[in-house]
Amino acid sequence: MATLDLNLPAGLPPDGVTPNFENPPNNNALAWGVLLLCQVISTICLVLRGYARVFLLRKFNAEEAFWGCSYAMFKIIEVPGFFVHQWDVLLRDVIPMNYNVYIYGQCYSFAMPFLKIAILIEWINIFVPGGFDRRSIFFWGCSFMIFIQAAALVGIVLALNLQCRPHRAIWDIRVQGDCFAISKIQISSGIIFLISDIVILLLPQHIIWKLKLKTSKKIGVSIVFGLGLLACVCAAVRLSDTMKLVHNTNDAVYFIGVVGFWAFAEMTCGFFICCLPCIPKILHDTGVLRSIKRKLGMNTGTTAPSSANRYGTNGSSSRRNYEANHSTSYYKLDEDGVPMTTIGGTQSTEYLHGGQNGSDINQPTLPSNTRGAHSTVDKASSSKAWRP
C-alpha cells in the first residue's frame, strides 16, 4: 500500500492561484472576536441560570450539565484557521481539523437538543403550571418537540459515530475504512433544528396574546419570548452554508468553519433564551432591581396591598357589586370593592409578589354567601398551583 504524502496540498487551487501554506489568508481575528463574545454570553447565562435554580429555587436539572463545545472551535482557529481555503492547507493539517470537527459535532449534537428540551420544559412550567392541563395544544406541542429533540439527539450521535469502520477513519485520512457519506445527515439535522427553532418561537405566542394584560404588556412579553428569532436566523444561515459545504467538496475546509461559526451562534442564542426566565427573579432577589430604581429616583416601595389596605371598600359595598349569571354557572364580580386575600398558589400570573418562589398572589375572594354550588373560583385556584 502506497504511503500518503502528508505534505501535499489538501486541494487543487483554481487556475492562477498559488497555494500559501505558511500564512494563508484567513479571518481568525473575526473568529476570535465572535467566538469569545458567544462564549462570554453563554457562560454568563449559564452562571445566572445555575445561581437562580440552585441557590434561589433550590433546584438542579440535568440540562445544566451541558456547558457547550467551544474547545473544538478554538482548536480549529489554531489549525487550519477559519475561512481558509482548502488549497492553502496541507494534508497533515487536515487530520487534527477533522478530529476537532468530529468533537464539535458530538458536543453540538448533545448541547442543542438538551438546550431546546430545557427551554420547552421551562415554558411548560410557566404556561402550564403543574403540567395538569394535558388538553392544551401548547402542552402537547411542547411534548412532541421534546420527543423530536430526543430522537434527533440519539439518531445524529449514532450516525456520527458509525459513519466509518474502523472508527478512527472518521478523522484520520491515513486509515483506510468503509465509510458512508454523512451529507444527508448534515442537511437533515440542519432542517430539524431550523424547524424546531421556528416551532419553539411560535408556540408561546398564542397563549401570550390570550393573557388578560394590556396590549402594551402583551407586546413586551411577546418580544421577550420572540428572541428565538435570532436562533432561527442563525439556524437558517447554518443550513444554507451546510448546503454549500455539501456541494463544494473541493473547498470543504473553508465551509466547515463557516458552518461551525453559525452553529456556535445558534447555540449561544439557545443559552440566552434558556437563561431569560431566571433574570427577573435574580434582579429582584439580589436587590439589583431595587438599586437601579433608587438611582433613577423611582419608587422602591412594595406595590402589594398591605393588611390595612387589603379591602378596597367595606363589605357592604362589595356585596352590592356582584351579580349572578345563571346561564354560565358562575358569579360575575366587578373589579371595585372586591376583598383581597393572600393564598398559597394560583394559576394566575397577572400579579405576583411576596415569597421567595413568587407563590404569594393576591386573589379576589367571594363573599361568604356566594360560596355555593355556582362558585368555581376556589376550585379553580386550588386545583392548579402556579410555580416558576
Q: 72-85: b or e for each residue (b if 16 or more CB lie within 10 Å)? A: bbebbbebbbbbbb
Question: Does residue 255 share a domain with residue 120?
Answer: yes
CA–CA gap between residue 53 and residue 61 (Å, rounded): 8
Measured CA angle at 230 (ends 225, 236), to 5 deg: 130
Give yes or no: residues 316 and 282 share one domain: no
Last residue within a domain, chosen from 288, 321, 355? 288
What stretches of the chain adopt beta strand conformation (E)?
Answer: 164-165, 178-179, 322-325, 330-333, 340-343, 361-364
Residue 153: inside a domain: yes
Q: How far apart are CA 19 and CA 345, in angstroms?
A: 69
Identify whether 19 is part of a domain. no
Same domain, 130 and 200: yes
Q: Are 331 and 226 found together in one domain?
A: no
| 27 contact partners, CB below 8 Å, separation of at least 6 | 82, 83
Residue 154 backbone phi and psi in degrees, to 5: -65, -45
Q: Is 348 part of any domain?
A: yes
Whether 96 is covered by a domain: the verdict is yes
Q: Based on the domain organization, do 272 and 330 belong to the same domain?
A: no
14 found inside a domain: no
How many structural domains compose the chain? Answer: 2
Grid coordinates representing 115 are: 438546550
- Of 288, 319, 341, the one marking the end of a domain is 288
Q: Are residues 222 and 253 in the same domain?
A: yes
Contact 144, 203 (CB under 8 A): no
Residue 194 grid cell: 431550523
Containing structural domain, residue 97? 28-288
Q: In this structure, are 55 and 184 located in the same domain?
A: yes
Same domain for 230 and 334? Answer: no
pLDDT tens for the chain, residues 1 to 388: 456 656 666 676 777 676 766 767 777 777 777 777 777 777 777 677 666 655 555 554 444 434 545 667 777 777 677 778 888 888 888 888 888 888 888 888 888 888 898 888 888 887 876 655 666 788 888 889 999 999 999 999 999 999 999 999 998 888 888 988 888 888 999 999 999 999 988 888 888 888 787 888 778 777 777 778 888 999 999 999 999 888 888 888 888 888 888 888 888 888 888 777 666 666 666 666 677 767 777 766 554 444 444 334 444 443 334 333 333 333 333 334 444 444 444 444 444 444 444 444 444 444 444 444 444 334 333 333 333 3
Q: Is residue 295 part of a domain?
A: no
Which residue type sits at 92?
A: R
Q: pLDDT for 89-129, tens place per residue?
A: 888 888 888 888 888 888 888 888 888 988 888 888 878 76
Q: Give the model's pLDDT for residue 149.
A: 92
User: Which of 334, 333, 338 has the alpha carbon at shortest distance from 312?
Assistant: 338
Give Cβ neighbours of residue 366 (< 8 Å, ≥ 6 apart).
322, 331, 333, 375, 377, 378
Give 348-373 as a DSSP string: --SS-BSSTTS-BEEEE---GGG-ST
What kind and span of H or E run contains 45? Answer: helix 28-51
> Do residues 228 and 203 touch, judged by C-beta distance below 8 A?
no
* CATH number of the domain within which 255 lies: 1.20.1070
Same domain assignment for residues 132 and 190: yes
- The 8 Å CB, 24+ separation contacts for 310-316 are 310/339, 310/340, 310/341, 311/339, 311/340, 312/336, 312/337, 312/338, 312/339, 312/340, 313/337, 315/339, 315/367
Q: Which of 257, 288, 319 is the last residue of a domain?
A: 288
Examine the domain organization and report whether 34 and 125 are in the same domain.
yes
- What is the distance between the alpha carbons of residues 130 and 388, in angstroms, rounded to a whole number? 10
Does residue 257 fall inside a structural domain?
Answer: yes
The answer to whether the predicted template modeling score (pTM) of the entire model surpasses 0.85 is: no
Cβ–Cβ < 8 Å for 340, 363: yes
Q: Is the domain of 284 the same as that of 314? A: no
DSSP 114-128: HHHHHHHHHHHHHHS
pLDDT at 24: 74
CA distances from 106 to 109, 149, 388 (A): 5, 15, 32
11 in any annotated domain: no
Cell of 54: 440552585
Q: Which residues pair with 165 in a beta bridge?
A: 178
Closest to 206 (Cα-Cα) out of 148, 127, 134? 127
Residue type, 325: N
Cβ atoms within 10 Å of 124's Cβ, excluding its own: 20
Residue 238 sits in the same domain as residue 315: no
